[in-house]
Amino acid sequence: KHLAYFILFIFYGMSSQASHILGGEIGYRHVSGLTYEIQVNLYGDCQGSSFPSLSAASTIARVAVFDGNSLFQDVSCTRYGDFGKEITPVCPVDSLNTACTIPTSTIPGIAEFKFSYTITLPSTSANWRFIFSGQLDNSNNSYAGRSGQITNIDQSSGTTIVYLEATLNNTNGANSSPVLTTIPTPFFCINQPQ
């Protein structure tokens, strides 16, 4: 019996100098035995003031691996795939007019940044936790901050840091977290069916 996962996509308040993340996801893929690939995907706001630094400088995403509340290991997920690829789901006529292509454009732009790390866990547990708390690179001052374009979250405590968590129970067998198959940033074209 496989008990899977959950993907948690939460933001919480902390001081930061970044303003470029619209969202993200964290998960894991079973490789073999007790070996798993941790995957972190961040969705960058091309209009965010710190977006250029995410694209150019972010080489790792720090993930803390816990067994319950006990830290097992901090890992550095490295960038992979088509890092920084634009995924803005706009109408075809606007595909070259987003903020990712034209920084001064009024049409938003979204780019995807993928990070991964392969880890071998020391044992099975019902309480494995993979936590990305916004830290990029090895600097204690480089955090992924929520985009200023998100206006329905309280900003009274200052810029918020992105926090993502996935859990794993591998006591009844190996399993992988679910994979989202759609772009998590929906846009809809006026007068066109969806």
Rounded CA gap, 84 and 63, in Å? 20
Taking the CA of residue 72 as centre, how many other CA atoms within 13 Å lie in the half-sphere pointing to its CB? 18
pLDDT of residue 8: 31
- Identify the burial level of 133 via C-beta atoms within 10 angstroms of its C-beta, where 0-12 means exposed, 13-18 middle and 19 or more buried: middle
pLDDT of residue 134: 81
pTM listed for this prediction:
0.79
**Averaged in consecutive runs of 10 residues, what is the pLDDT profile of the chain (194 residues)?**
32 42 90 96 79 66 95 93 86 87 87 93 97 76 61 60 90 89 72 72
